[in-house]
Amino acid sequence: MSKQLVLIDCPDAKGLVYNITKVIYDLGLNIISNHEYVDSNSGYFFMRTVLEGSHPEEQFREKLSEVLPGEANIRLSALRKKPIVILATKEPHCLGDLLLRNADDELPCDIKAVISNHDHLRKLTESFEIPYHHISSENRSREEHEQKILACLDQYEPDYLVLAKYMRIFTPQFVKHYPHRIINIHHSFLPAFIGASPYQQAFDRGVKIIGSTSHFVTENLDEGPIIVQDVIPVNHTFTAEGMAQAGRDIEKNVLAKSLKLVLENRVFIFKDKTIVFD
Amino acid sequence: MSKQLVLIDCPDAKGLVYNITKVIYDLGLNIISNHEYVDSNSGYFFMRTVLEGSHPEEQFREKLSEVLPGEANIRLSALRKKPIVILATKEPHCLGDLLLRNADDELPCDIKAVISNHDHLRKLTESFEIPYHHISSENRSREEHEQKILACLDQYEPDYLVLAKYMRIFTPQFVKHYPHRIINIHHSFLPAFIGASPYQQAFDRGVKIIGSTSHFVTENLDEGPIIVQDVIPVNHTFTAEGMAQAGRDIEKNVLAKSLKLVLENRVFIFKDKTIVFD
Amino acid sequence: MSKQLVLIDCPDAKGLVYNITKVIYDLGLNIISNHEYVDSNSGYFFMRTVLEGSHPEEQFREKLSEVLPGEANIRLSALRKKPIVILATKEPHCLGDLLLRNADDELPCDIKAVISNHDHLRKLTESFEIPYHHISSENRSREEHEQKILACLDQYEPDYLVLAKYMRIFTPQFVKHYPHRIINIHHSFLPAFIGASPYQQAFDRGVKIIGSTSHFVTENLDEGPIIVQDVIPVNHTFTAEGMAQAGRDIEKNVLAKSLKLVLENRVFIFKDKTIVFD
Amino acid sequence: MSKQLVLIDCPDAKGLVYNITKVIYDLGLNIISNHEYVDSNSGYFFMRTVLEGSHPEEQFREKLSEVLPGEANIRLSALRKKPIVILATKEPHCLGDLLLRNADDELPCDIKAVISNHDHLRKLTESFEIPYHHISSENRSREEHEQKILACLDQYEPDYLVLAKYMRIFTPQFVKHYPHRIINIHHSFLPAFIGASPYQQAFDRGVKIIGSTSHFVTENLDEGPIIVQDVIPVNHTFTAEGMAQAGRDIEKNVLAKSLKLVLENRVFIFKDKTIVFD
């Protein structure tokens, strides 16, 4: 039987769950799984429901609107593969991992293309029969470079951009084209070691654990809402390069895990933080 | 405002959440937090709801019964401290940890007493002003010993027995007095190393990780429903004794964590497994 | 400057480190890194030393022999890439991960070929320009099948065979051809869930953590010396299939990590266990 | 047989291990365990050796000096319990944990006293028969308060001060009295969330993992050499207070682990970092 996804967030109110499930019940749909969360500080309500059966979206939405506060954010969707585009630079481990997982049908997405400011990853990408666009930043201003990328992206209409170790920083103007739709993997346990060369910073500080953080990209570098983090132990025998190499193992898993959560609509963004129904 | 807890498990049916939340809504109660889970294999439904406000239990239960399947298991309770008794043998780390946490008000329980088959832990226990009962197993049959313990327990009417490294095995007859109400900490990553001397077994096998498992005690040794597990890395330099010492750090945390989950009614038992709403 | 590796294991004796480092010093070599371990139960000594500079192997070995007990096991080698062959069945994640890491020069090995009992992984393998051999087990006895594999392996003279989710069990006769030279990834936290379908077993038992174990293959299934283990948390919402999917993330990292350790000669085998100098 | 510990650090030189082990061999002592490390950036050498047998310290030191560079730092000691004093404020979990472990003979130390700026922890401390000194900071300047503490410490001649959630910051003048001899537990994954209220900071940032860090105290707040770190996962359902409570479980383990490492002379300090031979 077909399935339908309902995502709601709105100010909390007495009877919300009752009112929402009444609509669902009256339409003859069955709840397969249901997650709710109320942020008690702000009194905000979040709900993700998977339904068996389906109902025309417009009418469903209208019925929900009738019982929800005016400012409610209602999203309905079928559980379907979402189009994405991956951006990378030279390092192959995160990109390769996503390509492999995608080939193995682990991720509910359709990788439309890979865009890179270098040509290094072409062979890897094309061996998975994914289009590869080399858009060099040389002899181009940042704005010109981003215009080229935006133009290239247009043809693919991606739901999300995935930065798989894309080592350039986007301007706020670029980010505005994909608000809360760009996922980055940062190679540190944020907010430690913001900015460049986090493994060198970690080495210099002599930490005993290194980490990796996936987050949505906002206008403020490395300050977007965190989706997933993971860590591994290191010790005094690790050089900065050794930390970088060890870190790859968690970078790719953290990126893949966060992408899967986002693609399955398990991630709500609220005030620079995420609510993750995993 | 007072709070009330509703725990329901029953065969799944269309409209369950709607029907339950309708009762809650009609009684004027507000849902603060809500967890639901449907075991898709068995088609069984589980729900834990925290409500703001309260309603007389009998009437509330009756109204819920009207909308639930006949075999539904409905539990209502105030969020209150539950009476427990701890059983231990000679090792102080788990007992001491629970006594410390309790003194620091971390656990929603009232530790009525400690019972041990030795006298070693008396001073530790009494320094926290908890009664200590030394019930020796010497010169007593297993049945006689257990009778003594049961008699001692009777005066305290504990909701749960907590085995904080209690190194004796209860007979099925004893366990029947506290069905799914005895929590044990086993010093291995079950089901690896069932039975005696798990650290020696782990050492002999040359594992690189050791674990700790809390579970409900059933008639079958070390096979009860698992509540919490945790692990730590070891290596070839660890002796069996070194593993045992390292293992204590996770034993006490795992036991305390599972006890807290159970005391907060976050743990459902279903067919030899647990559903944990954490 | 060139580097040389010295690996020694022998019964412990007073003055061993002095005598060995005297030979090294007298030959004008410099110790860059040095690991020693004495197994106190058995009184056995293990040493791994990386030297700057090099000396002809035969003469070096002779000088070491003069100061070591007669039964000492002395291995000298340059730090070089070792030839390996990977065996796989249908699952791409471990194989793909090794191919990616190898292309990224993370592993000090030369992947000579991939052998599989199915043809599924040909495209993936060949996209990395590695020869792929499909040796079907259909219509062949186990012995015939293994003879075909052995014949294929002969042309590559691999130091190690890596079982990257190779889902068949080798006969003791096969294993004898590569004693302590076959590395397997088992998809459970051994010794829990030995044998087939470990994720189903883990699901049935209701564990809260699942694991992955790399080990040397010996005649006894899943009982060879353990090299690396890792775990991830799961909960009641995971199906057996969900566990299998989550487990892939640690399977590939554990296999790659153990392969790297073995290729760098950091792993000694002693009495069904490993000593790992990491 | 008695045991002796040798700790050496000095600029690296060819033949160091040979020369040191020659001295040991000539004195008829046997190496039980041996750790060496060369920091390749700075060319600095570190060694920790446990010997069976013993030799008068003065003569032993002299013989080592003859073969080591002039600036070598040589420390000899018997493996013995070291005197320490614990400082705490109001929170009982770290202090209680150390007292429990000490009573269980887990830590090679002699806890001489507990000093606190409040009287809250007196009963807990005294139940373990340890002297408790309440030295209030009220109506005293920072300097006066620290003078009082120093005077109190003098009678105990502690090797180390352990700050078990001591919530005041020492002046550089105080720290100079115990250079690299004060161990602190910071309730965050340093260098993230330096300073006050790290759990509140972690909550505000929406991290998915929280940590705990033990470090030596230097003149710069929270910037001393890190000894041990550990982390636990959190999610959007955690309040700042919930994070603080969850964090206690790792705070106490991290503090105890680092104290054990320091007491066993396994920790070298070099340029704001530690080398830990564990």
- Closest to C39 measured CA to CA, from B209, B232, D33, B246: D33
Q: Which residue has the tokens 């994640």?
A: C93
Among C193, C236, C276, select the one facing B37 at the smallest CB separation: C236
D97 touches chain B (CB under 8 A): yes
C45 touches chain B (CB under 8 A): no
Q: Where are the alpha helices (DSSP H) in C27-121?
A: 57-67, 93-103
Given a cut of 80, whether residue A1 has pLDDT beyond it is no
Measure CA of the first residue to CA of the last residue in chain A; give whole Å: 23
Given a cut of 90, whether residue C78 has pLDDT beyond it is no
Among C40, C189, C272, select the one facing B189 at the smallest CB separation: C189
**Residue-level pLDDT at A192:** 86
Among B190, B236, B276, select the one facing C276 at the smallest CB separation: B236
- Closest to D265 measured CA to CA, from D114, D65, D73: D73
Between residues C82 and C190, the one the model is more confident about: C82
The per-residue pLDDT for range C7-20, each reduced to its tens digit, is 999 999 999 999 99
Best of A35, A48, A89, A100 to substitute, by most chain C Cβ atoms within 10 angstroms, is A100
Separation between Cα atoms, residue D123 and residue A175, nearest integer Å: 58
Q: Hey, which residues 184-223 in chain A have their CB within 8 Å of chain D?
A: 189-193, 205-209, 211
The per-residue pLDDT for range D188-226, each reduced to its tens digit, is 888 888 888 899 999 999 999 999 999 999 998 788 999
Q: Which residue has the tokens 């730590």?
A: B232
- Closest to B85 measured CA to CA, from B154, B143, B171: B154
User: D22–C22: do the CB atoms touch at under 8 Å?
Assistant: yes
Catalytic residue, from B39, B119, B222, B272: name it: B222
Given a cut of 80, whether residue C221 has pLDDT beyond it is no
A21 touches chain B (CB under 8 A): yes
Mean pLDDT value across chain D? 94
List, by residue number, the catalytic residues of D: 222
Q: Please tell me the distance in Å from C49's CA to the nearest CA on chain A.
A: 15
User: B92–D106: do the CB atoms touch at under 8 Å?
Assistant: no
List the single residue in D with minimal CA-CA distance to B241.
D106
**Residue-level pLDDT at A220:** 84
On chain D, the residues whose CB falls within 8 A of the CB of A207 are: 190-191, 226, 229
User: A37–D237: do the CB atoms touch at under 8 Å?
Assistant: yes
Catalytic residue, from C204, C222, C272, C278: name it: C222
User: C18–D18: do the CB atoms touch at under 8 Å?
Assistant: yes
Q: Name every residue whose Cβ is closer than 8 Å to that of residue D18 and which is 6 or more positions away in sequence.
A: C18, C21, C22, C24, C25
pLDDT along chain B (278 residues), means of 10: 91 94 94 92 94 90 95 90 97 97 95 98 96 97 96 98 96 96 93 87 94 94 92 95 94 97 97 94
User: A209–D191: do the CB atoms touch at under 8 Å?
Assistant: no
- Based on the residue annotation, tell me whether C159 is a catalytic residue of this protein: no
ipTM of the complex: 0.93
Mean pLDDT value across chain C? 94
Given a cut of 90, whether residue A5 has pLDDT beyond it is yes
D253 touches chain B (CB under 8 A): yes
**Residue-level pLDDT at A98:** 98
Q: Which residue has the tokens 């109506």?
A: D139
**Residue-level pLDDT at D2:** 85
The per-residue pLDDT for range B146-167, each reduced to its tens digit, is 999 999 999 999 999 999 999 9
Given a cut of 80, whether residue C171 has pLDDT beyond it is yes
Least confident of A123-132, A163-172, B70-79, D161-170: B70-79
User: Domains in chain D, start-ordered, CATH in brackets?
Assistant: 3-78 (3.30.70.260), 82-276 (3.40.50.170)
**Residue-level pLDDT at B6:** 96
Given a cut of 80, whether residue D1 has pLDDT beyond it is no
On chain A, the residues whose CB falls within 8 A of the CB of B31 are: 16-17, 36
Given a cut of 90, whether residue D107 has pLDDT beyond it is yes
Distances, alpha carbon A261 to alpha carbons A76, A247, B32, D232, in Å: 17, 21, 25, 20
DSSP C14: T
Taking residues C164-174, what's their average pLDDT?
A: 95
Measure CA of the first residue to CA of the last residue in chain B; give whole Å: 23
**Residue-level pLDDT at B185:** 96
Q: What percent of chain A has pLDDT over 70?
A: 100
D18 touches chain C (CB under 8 A): yes
On chain D, the residues whose CB falls within 8 A of the CB of A192 are: 189-192
Taking residues C31-56, what's their average pLDDT?
A: 92
Given a cut of 90, whether residue D53 has pLDDT beyond it is no
**Residue-level pLDDT at A6:** 96
**Residue-level pLDDT at C166:** 96
A247 touches chain C (CB under 8 A): no
**Residue-level pLDDT at D69:** 92
Confidence of residue A80 (pLDDT cuts 50, 70, 90): confident
Taking residues A45-64, what's their average pLDDT?
A: 93
Least confident of B234-248, C183-197, D123-137: C183-197
Which chains touch C (3+ CB pairs under 8 A)?
A, B, D
Taking residues C6-33, what's their average pLDDT?
A: 94
**Residue-level pLDDT at A155:** 97
Beta-carbon neighbour count of residue C269 at 10 Å? 18
User: C236–B207: do the CB atoms touch at under 8 Å?
Assistant: no
Distances, alpha carbon D242 to alpha carbons C124, D94, D210, D235, in Å: 47, 17, 11, 10
DSSP A111: E
Taking residues A237-263, what's their average pLDDT?
A: 96
Q: Please tell me the distance in Å from C137's CA to the nearest CA on chain B.
A: 33
Best of D99, D248, D249, D252 to substitute, by most chain B Cβ atoms within 10 angstroms, is D249
What 3-state class would DSSP assign to A68? coil
Q: Please tell me the distance in Å from D172's CA to the nearest CA on chain B.
A: 33
Q: Please tell me the distance in Å from D78's CA to the nearest CA on chain A.
A: 26
Given a cut of 90, whether residue A194 has pLDDT beyond it is no
Question: How far from the centroid of its chain's Cα atoms is residue D77's Cα?
Answer: 17
Among B96, B245, B253, select the one facing D100 at the smallest CB separation: B96
Separation between Cα atoms, residue B248 and residue D117, nearest integer Å: 31
On chain C, the residues whose CB falls within 8 A of the CB of B208 are: 226-229, 276
